[in-house]
Protein backbone atom coordinates (compact mmCIF):
# COMPACT_ATOMS: atom_id res chain seq x y z
CA UNK A 1 0.00 0.00 0.00
CA UNK A 2 1.42 3.37 -1.06
CA UNK A 3 -0.11 6.44 0.67
CA UNK A 4 -0.18 9.35 -1.77
CA UNK A 5 0.97 12.05 0.64
CA UNK A 6 3.62 10.25 2.67
CA UNK A 7 4.79 8.34 -0.40
CA UNK A 8 6.64 11.35 -1.71
CA UNK A 9 7.56 12.97 1.63
CA UNK A 10 7.72 16.21 -0.32
CA UNK A 11 10.67 18.32 0.78
CA UNK A 12 12.39 15.45 2.63
CA UNK A 13 15.06 13.07 1.49
CA UNK A 14 17.59 10.64 2.98
CA UNK A 15 19.96 13.55 3.65
CA UNK A 16 17.48 14.79 6.27
CA UNK A 17 17.89 11.63 8.38
CA UNK A 18 20.46 9.43 10.04
CA UNK A 19 20.19 5.67 10.43
CA UNK A 20 18.47 4.77 7.16
CA UNK A 21 19.17 1.35 5.64
CA UNK A 22 19.51 0.65 1.89
CA UNK A 23 16.56 -1.31 0.52
CA UNK A 24 17.31 -0.97 -3.20
CA UNK A 25 19.84 1.06 -5.14
CA UNK A 26 17.67 4.21 -4.91
CA UNK A 27 15.38 3.50 -1.95
CA UNK A 28 16.12 3.70 1.77
CA UNK A 29 14.20 1.81 4.45
CA UNK A 30 13.19 3.69 7.61
CA UNK A 31 14.09 1.72 10.75
CA UNK A 32 12.79 2.55 14.20
CA UNK A 33 16.14 3.95 15.30
CA UNK A 34 16.42 6.42 12.39
CA UNK A 35 16.40 10.08 13.37
CA UNK A 36 15.62 13.31 11.50
CA UNK A 37 18.45 15.84 11.44
CA UNK A 38 17.56 19.11 13.18
CA UNK A 39 15.78 21.30 12.22
CA UNK A 40 13.93 18.66 10.16
CA UNK A 41 11.18 16.70 11.88
CA UNK A 42 9.45 13.48 10.89
CA UNK A 43 7.03 10.91 12.26
CA UNK A 44 8.48 8.14 10.08
CA UNK A 45 10.87 6.58 12.65
CA UNK A 46 8.14 6.38 15.29
CA UNK A 47 5.76 4.89 12.73
CA UNK A 48 8.41 2.32 11.91
CA UNK A 49 8.65 1.45 15.60
CA UNK A 50 4.90 1.02 16.07
CA UNK A 51 3.79 -0.55 12.79
CA UNK A 52 4.64 -4.14 11.72
CA UNK A 53 5.62 -3.07 8.22
CA UNK A 54 8.73 -2.07 6.33
CA UNK A 55 8.57 1.68 5.67
CA UNK A 56 10.43 3.05 2.67
CA UNK A 57 11.14 6.69 1.97
CA UNK A 58 10.35 7.72 -1.60
CA UNK A 59 12.71 10.63 -2.31
CA UNK A 60 11.06 13.33 -4.49
CA UNK A 61 14.21 15.29 -5.28
CA UNK A 62 14.61 13.70 -8.71
CA UNK A 63 11.09 14.56 -9.78
CA UNK A 64 8.44 12.21 -11.14
CA UNK A 65 11.01 10.24 -13.15
CA UNK A 66 13.02 9.59 -10.00
CA UNK A 67 9.95 8.39 -8.10
CA UNK A 68 9.01 6.07 -10.98
CA UNK A 69 12.51 4.59 -10.86
CA UNK A 70 12.27 4.03 -7.10
CA UNK A 71 8.84 2.39 -7.36
CA UNK A 72 10.03 0.04 -10.10
CA UNK A 73 13.04 -0.93 -8.00
CA UNK A 74 10.74 -1.69 -5.07
CA UNK A 75 8.43 -3.72 -7.30
CA UNK A 76 11.34 -5.79 -8.54
CA UNK A 77 12.82 -6.19 -5.06
CA UNK A 78 9.62 -7.02 -3.16
CA UNK A 79 7.67 -8.77 -5.94
CA UNK A 80 4.29 -7.79 -4.42
CA UNK A 81 1.09 -9.58 -5.44
CA UNK A 82 -0.53 -6.16 -5.87
CA UNK A 83 0.22 -2.47 -5.41
CA UNK A 84 -2.31 0.08 -4.20
CA UNK A 85 -1.96 3.86 -4.29
CA UNK A 86 -4.15 5.16 -1.46
CA UNK A 87 -5.24 8.77 -1.00
CA UNK A 88 -7.28 9.88 1.99
CA UNK A 89 -9.71 12.61 0.98
CA UNK A 90 -9.55 12.31 -2.79
CA UNK A 91 -7.68 15.46 -3.80
CA UNK A 92 -5.55 13.22 -6.01
CA UNK A 93 -8.62 13.28 -8.30
CA UNK A 94 -8.57 17.08 -8.55
CA UNK A 95 -8.13 19.03 -11.76
CA UNK A 96 -5.75 21.46 -10.06
CA UNK A 97 -7.80 24.64 -10.30
CA UNK A 98 -10.21 23.97 -7.43
CA UNK A 99 -10.24 27.02 -5.10
CA UNK A 100 -10.16 24.83 -1.99
CA UNK A 101 -7.12 22.80 -3.10
CA UNK A 102 -4.16 23.31 -0.76
CA UNK A 103 -1.63 20.53 -1.39
CA UNK A 104 -1.66 19.36 -5.01
CA UNK A 105 2.05 18.76 -5.56
CA UNK A 106 2.60 15.59 -3.49
CA UNK A 107 -0.43 13.91 -5.02
CA UNK A 108 0.47 15.03 -8.55
CA UNK A 109 4.04 13.75 -8.21
CA UNK A 110 2.90 10.37 -6.94
CA UNK A 111 0.15 10.09 -9.55
CA UNK A 112 2.49 11.00 -12.40
CA UNK A 113 5.12 8.54 -11.24
CA UNK A 114 2.68 5.67 -10.74
CA UNK A 115 1.26 6.09 -14.23
CA UNK A 116 4.73 5.35 -15.66
CA UNK A 117 5.48 2.33 -13.47
CA UNK A 118 5.73 -0.85 -15.53
CA UNK A 119 3.35 -2.75 -13.24
CA UNK A 120 -0.38 -2.54 -12.45
CA UNK A 121 -1.28 -0.08 -9.68
CA UNK A 122 -4.76 0.29 -8.24
CA UNK A 123 -5.84 3.79 -7.19
CA UNK A 124 -7.95 3.93 -4.04
CA UNK A 125 -9.65 6.89 -2.35
CA UNK A 126 -10.60 6.57 1.31
CA UNK A 127 -12.85 9.05 3.08
CA UNK A 128 -13.95 11.25 0.16
CA UNK A 129 -13.70 14.91 1.17
CA UNK A 130 -12.08 14.24 4.55
CA UNK A 131 -8.92 16.18 3.73
CA UNK A 132 -10.97 19.39 3.50
CA UNK A 133 -9.82 20.11 -0.06
CA UNK A 134 -12.25 18.76 -2.69
CA UNK A 135 -15.82 18.27 -1.37
CA UNK A 136 -17.14 14.71 -1.46
CA UNK A 137 -20.01 15.69 -3.78
CA UNK A 138 -17.50 16.90 -6.39
CA UNK A 139 -15.72 13.53 -6.33
CA UNK A 140 -18.67 11.20 -6.85
CA UNK A 141 -18.46 11.11 -10.64
CA UNK A 142 -14.67 10.63 -10.49
CA UNK A 143 -14.74 7.46 -8.37
CA UNK A 144 -15.96 3.95 -8.91
CA UNK A 145 -18.14 1.94 -6.53
CA UNK A 146 -17.32 1.40 -2.87
CA UNK A 147 -14.89 -1.49 -2.43
CA UNK A 148 -14.84 -1.37 1.38
CA UNK A 149 -16.52 0.43 4.27
CA UNK A 150 -14.18 0.73 7.22
CA UNK A 151 -15.38 -0.20 10.69
CA UNK A 152 -14.03 0.21 14.19
CA UNK A 153 -12.46 -3.23 13.87
CA UNK A 154 -10.49 -2.12 10.80
CA UNK A 155 -8.94 0.90 12.52
CA UNK A 156 -8.29 -0.68 15.91
CA UNK A 157 -4.78 -1.92 14.97
CA UNK A 158 -3.62 1.68 14.41
CA UNK A 159 -5.52 3.24 17.33
CA UNK A 160 -2.34 3.75 19.37
CA UNK A 161 -0.68 5.56 16.45
CA UNK A 162 -3.62 7.94 16.15
CA UNK A 163 -3.10 8.97 19.77
CA UNK A 164 -0.04 10.96 18.64
CA UNK A 165 0.15 11.14 14.85
CA UNK A 166 -0.80 14.64 13.57
CA UNK A 167 -2.65 13.56 10.36
CA UNK A 168 -6.08 15.17 10.62
CA UNK A 169 -7.55 13.38 7.59
CA UNK A 170 -6.55 9.98 8.97
CA UNK A 171 -7.96 10.91 12.38
CA UNK A 172 -11.32 11.81 10.82
CA UNK A 173 -11.27 8.63 8.72
CA UNK A 174 -10.80 6.54 11.87
CA UNK A 175 -13.44 8.52 13.76
CA UNK A 176 -16.06 8.02 11.05
CA UNK A 177 -15.19 4.31 10.96
CA UNK A 178 -16.02 4.28 14.68
CA UNK A 179 -19.38 5.96 14.02
CA UNK A 180 -18.57 9.60 14.81
CA UNK A 181 -20.75 12.03 12.83
CA UNK A 182 -20.91 15.83 12.78
CA UNK A 183 -18.85 18.77 11.51
CA UNK A 184 -15.12 18.77 12.29
CA UNK A 185 -12.91 21.87 12.20
CA UNK A 186 -9.33 21.32 11.04
CA UNK A 187 -6.08 23.06 10.14
CA UNK A 188 -4.86 26.50 11.04
CA UNK A 189 -7.50 27.95 8.70
CA UNK A 190 -10.31 26.26 10.63
CA UNK A 191 -11.82 24.40 7.67
CA UNK A 192 -15.15 22.66 8.40
CA UNK A 193 -15.23 19.02 7.23
CA UNK A 194 -18.50 17.01 7.36
CA UNK A 195 -18.27 13.63 9.10
CA UNK A 196 -20.90 11.57 7.30
CA UNK A 197 -21.72 7.96 6.42
CA UNK A 198 -19.52 8.45 3.35
CA UNK A 199 -16.50 9.12 5.56
CA UNK A 200 -15.42 5.51 6.17
CA UNK A 201 -15.88 4.35 2.57
CA UNK A 202 -13.05 3.31 0.24
CA UNK A 203 -13.50 3.64 -3.52
CA UNK A 204 -11.47 2.51 -6.49
CA UNK A 205 -10.74 5.13 -9.15
CA UNK A 206 -9.22 4.91 -12.61
CA UNK A 207 -5.52 5.84 -12.55
CA UNK A 208 -5.34 6.95 -16.19
CA UNK A 209 -8.50 9.05 -15.88
CA UNK A 210 -7.02 10.73 -12.82
CA UNK A 211 -3.88 11.61 -14.78
CA UNK A 212 -5.86 12.93 -17.74
CA UNK A 213 -7.88 15.16 -15.40
CA UNK A 214 -4.92 16.45 -13.38
CA UNK A 215 -3.14 19.21 -15.32
CA UNK A 216 -0.27 19.45 -12.84
CA UNK A 217 0.39 15.70 -12.89
CA UNK A 218 0.58 15.73 -16.69
CA UNK A 219 2.92 18.73 -16.66
CA UNK A 220 5.42 17.09 -14.31
CA UNK A 221 5.53 13.62 -15.91
CA UNK A 222 9.05 14.13 -17.26
CA UNK A 223 10.48 16.19 -14.39
CA UNK A 224 13.89 15.16 -13.09
CA UNK A 225 14.08 17.50 -10.10
CA UNK A 226 11.75 18.63 -7.34
CA UNK A 227 12.52 22.23 -8.27
CA UNK A 228 11.07 21.63 -11.76
CA UNK A 229 7.93 20.13 -10.28
CA UNK A 230 7.56 23.03 -7.85
CA UNK A 231 7.84 25.56 -10.64
CA UNK A 232 5.09 23.81 -12.61
CA UNK A 233 2.93 23.92 -9.49
CA UNK A 234 3.48 27.66 -9.13
CA UNK A 235 2.61 28.23 -12.79
CA UNK A 236 -0.48 25.98 -12.90
CA UNK A 237 -1.87 26.24 -9.36
CA UNK A 238 -0.44 29.61 -8.40
CA UNK A 239 1.65 28.23 -5.51
CA UNK A 240 3.77 25.38 -4.23
CA UNK A 241 2.67 23.83 -0.95
CA UNK A 242 6.35 23.43 -0.02
CA UNK A 243 6.72 27.22 -0.14
CA UNK A 244 3.87 27.44 2.35
CA UNK A 245 5.52 24.90 4.65
CA UNK A 246 8.86 26.70 4.36
CA UNK A 247 7.31 30.05 5.21
CA UNK A 248 5.31 28.58 8.09
CA UNK A 249 8.37 26.84 9.53
CA UNK A 250 10.37 30.05 9.24
CA UNK A 251 7.63 32.05 10.97
CA UNK A 252 7.23 29.50 13.76
CA UNK A 253 10.97 29.56 14.28
CA UNK A 254 10.81 33.26 15.13
CA UNK A 255 7.94 32.95 17.61
CA UNK A 256 8.66 32.76 21.33
CA UNK A 257 7.52 29.49 22.84
CA UNK A 258 4.41 29.97 24.93
CA UNK A 259 4.33 28.22 28.28
CA UNK A 260 1.49 25.74 28.64
CA UNK A 261 -0.35 27.02 31.68
CA UNK A 262 -3.27 24.65 32.46
CA UNK A 263 -5.62 27.33 33.79
CA UNK A 264 -4.99 29.64 30.86
CA UNK A 265 -5.26 26.81 28.33
CA UNK A 266 -8.63 25.62 29.67
CA UNK A 267 -9.96 29.18 29.70
CA UNK A 268 -8.82 29.65 26.09
CA UNK A 269 -10.38 26.30 25.20
CA UNK A 270 -13.73 27.46 26.61
CA UNK A 271 -13.60 30.53 24.38
CA UNK A 272 -12.57 28.49 21.33
CA UNK A 273 -15.40 26.01 21.91
CA UNK A 274 -17.97 28.78 22.33
CA UNK A 275 -16.92 30.33 19.02
CA UNK A 276 -16.86 26.90 17.35
CA UNK A 277 -20.43 26.21 18.51
CA UNK A 278 -21.52 29.39 16.76
CA UNK A 279 -20.00 27.89 13.59
CA UNK A 280 -21.99 24.67 14.22
CA UNK A 281 -18.79 22.72 14.80
CA UNK A 282 -19.24 19.46 16.70
CA UNK A 283 -15.67 18.09 16.63
CA UNK A 284 -12.10 19.21 16.12
CA UNK A 285 -8.59 17.80 16.10
CA UNK A 286 -5.89 18.26 18.71
CA UNK A 287 -3.73 19.83 16.02
CA UNK A 288 -6.41 22.47 15.42
CA UNK A 289 -6.83 23.15 19.15
CA UNK A 290 -3.06 23.48 19.61
CA UNK A 291 -2.77 26.11 16.89
CA UNK A 292 -5.96 27.90 17.93
CA UNK A 293 -4.52 28.31 21.45
CA UNK A 294 -1.28 29.74 20.07
CA UNK A 295 0.84 26.75 21.08
CA UNK A 296 3.40 24.94 18.93
CA UNK A 297 3.41 21.36 17.72
CA UNK A 298 5.86 20.27 20.40
CA UNK A 299 3.24 21.12 23.02
CA UNK A 300 0.41 19.17 21.36
CA UNK A 301 0.88 16.03 23.44
CA UNK A 302 1.04 17.98 26.71
CA UNK A 303 -2.13 19.86 25.76
CA UNK A 304 -3.82 16.62 24.80
CA UNK A 305 -2.93 15.05 28.15
CA UNK A 306 -4.33 18.10 29.97
CA UNK A 307 -7.60 17.99 28.06
CA UNK A 308 -8.09 14.24 28.50
CA UNK A 309 -7.44 14.45 32.22
CA UNK A 310 -9.69 17.50 32.66
CA UNK A 311 -12.60 16.61 30.39
CA UNK A 312 -12.35 12.93 29.38
CA UNK A 313 -16.03 12.81 28.46
CA UNK A 314 -15.34 15.02 25.42
CA UNK A 315 -12.85 12.62 23.85
CA UNK A 316 -14.32 10.73 20.90
CA UNK A 317 -11.18 8.94 19.71
CA UNK A 318 -9.18 10.33 18.09
CA UNK A 319 -11.17 13.62 17.92
CA UNK A 320 -12.29 16.20 20.47
CA UNK A 321 -16.05 16.60 20.83
CA UNK A 322 -17.55 20.09 21.19
CA UNK A 323 -21.01 19.66 22.72
CA UNK A 324 -23.82 21.90 21.52
CA UNK A 325 -24.87 22.52 25.12
CA UNK A 326 -22.02 23.28 27.51
CA UNK A 327 -24.08 21.89 30.37
CA UNK A 328 -24.31 18.51 28.65
CA UNK A 329 -20.90 17.23 27.39
CA UNK A 330 -22.52 14.06 26.02
Is the per-residue pLDDT at 244 higher than 80?
A: no
Quote the CA–CA distance of 18 and 173 in Å, as a whole number. 32
At 110, give phi and psi (nearest 5°): -65, -45
Q: pTM for the complete prediction?
A: 0.91
Is the per-residue pLDDT at 42 higher than 50?
A: yes
**Measuring CA to CA, which residue among 274, 276, 299, 300 is closest to residue 287?**
300
Ranking 5-19, 35-49, 187-201, 274-288 by mean pLDDT, the lowest is 5-19
Assign residue 129 a region (left: φ > 0; alpha: ψ between -120 and 50; beta: otherwise). Answer: left
Q: For a pLDDT cut of 70, what percent of the chain falls above it?
A: 92
Is the per-residue pLDDT at 4 higher than 60?
A: no
At 196, give phi and psi (nearest 5°): -125, 180
Helices (H), the chain: 4-8, 44-50, 63-78, 104-116, 136-139, 152-155, 168-177, 207-213, 215-219, 226-237, 241-254, 262-278, 286-292, 300-310
Quote the CA–CA distance of 54 and 241 in Å, as a whole number. 28
Q: What does the pLDDT read at residue 98?
A: 86
Answer whether 107's CB lies under 8 Å from 125's CB.
Answer: no
Q: What does the pLDDT read at residue 14?
A: 87
Q: What is the mean pLDDT of residues 151-177?
A: 96
**Measuring CA to CA, which residue among 160, 189, 157, 165 is closest to residue 301?**
165
- Give Cβ neighbours of residue 282 (< 8 Å, ≥ 6 apart): 182, 183, 184, 195, 321, 322, 324
Quote the CA–CA distance of 1 and 63 in Å, as a whole number. 21
Answer whether 168's CB lies under 8 Å from 130's CB.
Answer: no
Q: What does the pLDDT read at residue 254?
A: 65
pLDDT in tens, 110-125: 999 999 999 999 999 9
Band of residue 243 on the pLDDT scale cut at 50, 70, 90: confident
At 3, give phi and psi (nearest 5°): -70, 135
Q: What does the pLDDT read at residue 15?
A: 87
Quote the CA–CA distance of 211 and 254 in Å, as a whole number. 40
Cα 290 to chain center, whole Å? 17
Ranking 95-99, 174-178, 243-247, 307-311 by mean pLDDT, the lowest is 243-247
Band of residue 103 on the pLDDT scale cut at 50, 70, 90: confident
Ranking 263-272, 276-285, 295-304 by mean pLDDT, the lowest is 295-304
Amino acid sequence: MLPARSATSVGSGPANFTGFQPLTRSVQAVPADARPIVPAGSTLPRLAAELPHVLALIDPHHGAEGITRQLEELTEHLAPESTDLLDVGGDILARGDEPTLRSPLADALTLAACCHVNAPIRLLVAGPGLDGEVPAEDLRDRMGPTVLTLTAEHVEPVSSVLEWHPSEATAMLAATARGVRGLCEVRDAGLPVPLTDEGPTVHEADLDNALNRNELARAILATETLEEAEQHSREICGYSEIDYERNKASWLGTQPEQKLDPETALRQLDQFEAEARNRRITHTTFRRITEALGLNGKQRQDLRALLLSSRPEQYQAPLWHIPADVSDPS
